[in-house]
Structures are given as C-alpha cells and as structure tokens.
Amino acid sequence: MKRTINSIDRTDSKLRWIDPSGNLSDLLLLSSVLAAAQKQGIGPFGLRRFNHVSAIFGSHPAVAQIADFTGDMPMSAIPAAIPSKVRAFDTIAGLIGLKTGTPENIEIFPPEGTFETLKYFNLEKGPVFICSGRDYPGTFWDSAMWAELAAIITKKTGKIPVQSGSNNDPVIPGALDLRGRPTIMQLFALIKEYASAVVCMDSYFVQAAKWADKPAVVIWGSDMFGSKSYPEHANITAVSGEQGINVTADKVFEQLSANSGTK
C-alpha cells in the first residue's frame, strides 16, 4: 500500500477518513480497531494529523494516508469523550462499522528496525516498568508514594524499576529515568522486550502492557475503569478519604507479586 504521511495539499477521497481525537490510549484502541477492520475488508483509511498520529500510525497496514487537511473532507470523528460505562473499543468499533463482538485485541505496529534500536538504552531484561502519568484528572498517587514503591521493588527484586512516560511526569526517586527518551514505539518495544511487569495509572500503559502481554498493576483514579481495563491485569481503584489514599505501595507490590510472580 502506498503511504503518505507528510503534509500535503490534496487528500485521497477514496479513503475512509477519520478525525482522531482523544488521548494516547484512545489512539491505541483506534489502531487496534483499524487492524480488525482491515481483516474484515473495511478500509483503507486516512487520518487527519493530530498529536502522536504519525508516530502510532506511520507503519499501520490499514492506514494509507496521514494529512493536514486544506478543505472539507467527510470524516468519522472519534469522540473526545467516550462514555465510561461502555467499552471504549466497542464505541470506536461501532463508528468504523466493525461486526458486533469483534475481539478486543490490541494491535500496535512499530516501524521496521525499532527493536534493533533498543540496545542503545543499555537495559537488562527483567525490570518492572513504572509510569506515574495518567490520562484523566482525579485521584492520584504523589511522588512520595511512587518513590516508596520504587524502593520496595528494588529491595524485593534486586532490580531498579524503570520510569518511563512523559518529561512532564515528576521524577520518581530510586527509579531509572527514561522519561521522554524513547519514541512512543521504542517505549512499547522496550516494554515488550525487557519488562517483567508494568505498574501504571489509568493511561496508555494499560494498552501497551496488554499488547506486550506483560502482567500489570493498574491504579485507577477515574471512572474509565470499566471502559478501558482488562481482567488479566490487577486493577485497583484509588480513593482519597480522611485517612488519605487507600492504595499503599505495599498493597501495589502485593498485587504485583501475585499477578506476575515478582517476589
């Protein structure tokens, strides 16, 4: 398939065009939906350029064109706010026209050569990847809680955890800082190749862990739990009350150990 990802003056009207809004987890779900659509004979697709779209869809087999639009083009718009009571995957699948009951598999397509670049990060296999960033406002762990978890992971496993995510996320003391260094696709590949498990908030790391088939502990502070969680993960809802946040670092490591065999 001929692919165009640069800014152009004309879009291909034969494609099914999508306006991809939402956060990174929504884009990963869209990636998965488009892969399923291609298998059902739907597509090919064009995408409006948006945050991270070129990085995530540049090598996607169902996407023929990514463009800045210079005129009106009929597009299916992925909603910026997906209802929390329904599966986000099903919401996006319905907009694209997938058959009811399409399996919710996560499909991510790192560009050719991505895995070969991972050696430059000098990681050993087996660390827990942790990410304090999150997609939604609400209850969250503070830096002290993450630092306590990092210390417990290091003591119990003998391996320093790897912090990944955005440069905007606060540094977690006691973790190896990879914030902002890998590309998005390198980050997914690093998790697949090196991580023993993932601990994260309600963010795109949930989908990344599922794609990489890694055990995960997910600390949820939003009502998107039922929309974007997976039963194979250890899902914990954080609630802030008079006694503070109910989720402690010890509790998270306990779930991590039970879910991944990490001791």
Residues in the chain: 263
63-67 and 216-220: which strand pairing? unpaired
Of 110-124, 167-181, 185-199, 211-225, which gets the smallest average pLDDT? 211-225
pLDDT surpassing 90 at residue 21: no
Percent share of the chain, pLDDT over 70? 84
Rounded Cα distance, 47 and 27, in Å: 11
User: Which domains are seen in the chain, by residue range?
Assistant: 16-96 (no CATH), 115-260 (3.40.50.2000)
User: Which amino acid, 24?
Assistant: L
Percent of the chain topping pLDDT 90: 52
Q: Are 17 and 47 in contact (CB under 8 A)?
A: yes
pLDDT at 28: 94
State how far the Cα of 184 lies from the Cα of 190, in Å rounded to an integer: 10
Helix (H) or strand (E) holding 148: helix 143-157
Beta pairing class for 240-241 and 244-245: antiparallel
Q: Which residues pair with 20 in a beta bridge?
A: 78
Q: What is the pLDDT of residues 78-111, one digit of tens each?
A: 665 666 678 889 888 988 888 878 889 999 999 9
Q: Are 196 and 260 in contact (CB under 8 A)?
A: yes
How far is Cα 62 from Cα 24, in angstroms, rounded to an integer?
A: 18
**Which position has the higher pLDDT, 224 or 256?**
256
Structure tokens, 253: 């490591």
Structure tokens at 228: 């974007």
For the entire predicted model, the pTM comes to: 0.89
35-81 pLDDT tens trace: 999 999 998 998 988 888 999 999 999 999 998 865 566 666 666 56
Using an 8 Å Cβ cutoff, are 55 and 81 in contact?
Answer: no
pLDDT in tens, 188-225: 999 999 999 999 998 999 999 999 999 999 998 766 67
Give the pLDDT score at 49.
Answer: 86
